[in-house]
Amino acid sequence: MKTHLKVVLFGFLIWLIAFAVAAMIFPLRTSQRPLFESIMPVVITVSTVLFAVLYFRNLKAGFRQKGILIGVVWLIINLAIDLPLFLLESPMQMSFADYIMDIGVTYLIIPVITIGFGFLLERKVS
């Protein structure tokens, strides 16, 4: 699979997994909000680690740069898909500030993981 396509596909899958889990546990958002807010970062972390492992496993060099690149791309993909769903008129509508405070900051987990992987792998091969 072409590298660019893989990066985009993995970024989309991270979003899709989080969205699917959020949809399945959505009743918790009102009945047990702290539990919902605890589950979602774990889901994003697990899916990001999974796709980072799949991405890095065949890479031979440039780990640090690729970690930064995929982290930023995956973050942008997740925000780009999410923002219209939450900012436009929909049942999930919220202000941009509320979105960032409630959901957007959680997506920063993605580049933290990929950049960490990249630096760790770069150090290991040096």
- pLDDT tens-digit map of 14-59: 999 999 999 999 999 889 999 999 999 999 999 999 999 999 999 9
**Crossing angle (nearest 10°) for helices 109-125 and 63-87:** 170
Residue 62 has a pLDDT of: 95
The band of 78, judged by pLDDT with boundaries at 50, 70 and 90, is very high
DSSP conformation class of 58:
T
Note the pLDDT of residue 88: 80
* Every domain of the chain and the residues it spans: 3-125
What sign results for the dihedral spanned by CA atoms 46, 52, 58, 62?
negative
Rounded to whole angstroms, the Cα distance separating 104 from 78 reads: 9
pLDDT band at 92 (very low <50, low <70, confident <90, very high): confident
Rounded to two decimals, what is the model's pTM? Answer: 0.92
Quick one: average pLDDT of 81-110? Answer: 88
d(CA 34, CA 77): 26
Q: What is the pLDDT of residue 118?
A: 98
The pLDDT, as a whole number, for residue 110 is 98
- Alpha-carbon gap, residue 6 to 2, rounded angstroms: 6
Reference 55, options 120, 106, 118; nearest CA is 118
- Shortest CA distance to 107 belongs to which of 86, 87, 85, 77? 77
pLDDT reported for residue 102: 86
Q: Residues 115-124: pLDDT tens digits?
A: 999 999 999 9
Among 56-65, 68-77, 83-92, the range scoring the smallest mean pLDDT is 83-92
Distance CA 107, CA 44 (A): 8
List phi, psi (to 5°) of 105.
-60, -35
